[in-house]
Amino acid sequence: MKVAITSVGNSLKSKLDLRFGRSVWLCIYDTETKQAEFRQNENKDANGGAGTKTAEKVAELGAEQVVSGDFGPKAKALLEKLKIQMVIFDEPNQTVGGIIEKMGSTKKQQTT
Amino acid sequence: MRIAVASGKGGTGKTTVAVSLFHFLEIFQDKKVQLVDCDVEEPNDALFLTPLQVLDKEEVCQFIPGIDLSTCTFCKKCVEWCEFNAITVVASRKFAEVDSNLCHSCGACSEACPTHSIVEEPGVLGTITHYKTENGSAFTQGLLEVGSAMQTMLVKKLKSRVRQNSEITIFDSPPGTSCSVVETVSDTDYVILVSEPTPFGLHDLKITVELLQELEKPFGVVVNKANLGFRDIYSYLDEKKIELLGEIPFSREFARVYSSGELLKNIPEEFEQIYQGIIEKVLAHETVN
ipTM value, please give it: 0.84
Asked if A62 is an interface residue toward chain B (Cβ–Cβ < 8 A), one would say yes
Interval B32-80: pLDDT, tens: 999 999 999 999 999 999 999 999 999 999 988 999 999 999 999 999 9
Mean pLDDT over B116-121 rounds to: 93
CATH class of B2-49+133-288: alpha beta
Among B167, B164, B176, smallest CA distance to B208 is for B176
Residue B152 sits at φ, ψ, to 5 deg, of -60, -40
Bond prior to B51 in cis (omega within 30° of 0): yes
Q: Which of A43, A62, A82 sits opposite B95 (nearest CB)?
A: A82
If phi over 0 gives left and psi between -120 and 50 gives alpha, with beta otherwise, what is residue B43? beta
Please report residues of A whose CB lies closer than 8 A to that of B74: none
Mean pLDDT to the nearest integer, B144-170: 92
Residue B206 pLDDT class (50, 70, 90 cuts): very high
Tell me what the mean pLDDT of segment B251-258 comes to: 89
Sign of CA dihedral B278, B284, B286, B289: negative
B252 interface with A at CB cutoff 8 Å: no
- pTM for the complete prediction? 0.78
Strand ranges, E, within chain B = 2-6, 33-37, 53-67, 87-90, 95-98, 118-132, 138-144, 168-172, 190-195, 219-226, 244-249
Sign for the pseudo-dihedral over CA of B78, B79, B83, B88: positive
Q: How many residues does chain B have?
A: 289
B170: closest CA among B29, B60, B52? B29
| pLDDT at residue B31, rounded to an integer | 84
pLDDT band at B209 (very low <50, low <70, confident <90, very high): very high
pLDDT computed for residue A112 by the predictor: 42
- Residue A105: the pLDDT is 67
Residue B18's pLDDT band, with cuts at 50, 70 and 90, is very high
Look at residues A79, A69, A7 and name the one whose alpha carbon lies nearest to residue A36.
Answer: A7
Can you give the pLDDT at residue B60? 95
Residue span of the structural domain in which A14 resides: 2-111
Question: What distance lies between CA A34 and its chain's CA centroid?
Answer: 15
* Domain ranges across chain B: 2-49+133-288, 61-123
- For residue B138, which of B52, B240, B41 has the smallest C-alpha distance? B52
**Mean per-residue pLDDT, B151-176:** 93
Evaluate if residue B207 carries a pLDDT over 50.
yes
| pLDDT at position B203 | 96
Q: How many domains does chain A have?
A: 1
Best B67, B80, B82, B88 member to test A by mutation, with max A CBs in 10 Å, is B88
Closest-CA residue of chain B to A50: B85
Mean pLDDT of all residues belonging to chain A: 91
- CATH number of the domain at A36, please: 3.30.420.130
B143 DSSP β-pair partners: B127
- Other Cβ atoms closer than 10 A to B265: 10
Rounded Cα distance between B181 and B159, Å, is: 12
Q: How far is residue B254's CA from residue B262's CA, in Å, rounded to a whole number?
A: 9
B3-12 pLDDT tens trace = 999 999 999 9
Predicted confidence band of residue B29 (pLDDT cuts 50, 70, 90): confident
Q: Tell me which fold the domain B61-123 belongs to.
A: Alpha-Beta Plaits (3.30.70)
Taking CB atoms and an 8 Å cutoff, what residues of chain B touch A43?
85
Residues in A touching B84 (Cβ below 8 Å): 47-49
Banded pLDDT at A107 (limits 50, 70, 90): low
In angstroms, the separation between the Cα of residue A37 and the nearest Cα of chain B is 20
DSSP string, B263-283: TTTS--HHHHHHHHHHHHHHH
Write the single-letter amino acid at B5: V
Note whether B97 contacts A: Cβ–Cβ < 8 A.
Answer: yes
The pLDDT, as a whole number, for residue B265 is 85
Q: Is it the case that residue B287 has pLDDT exceeding 70?
A: no
| CB-based contact B113:B124 (threshold 8 Å) | no
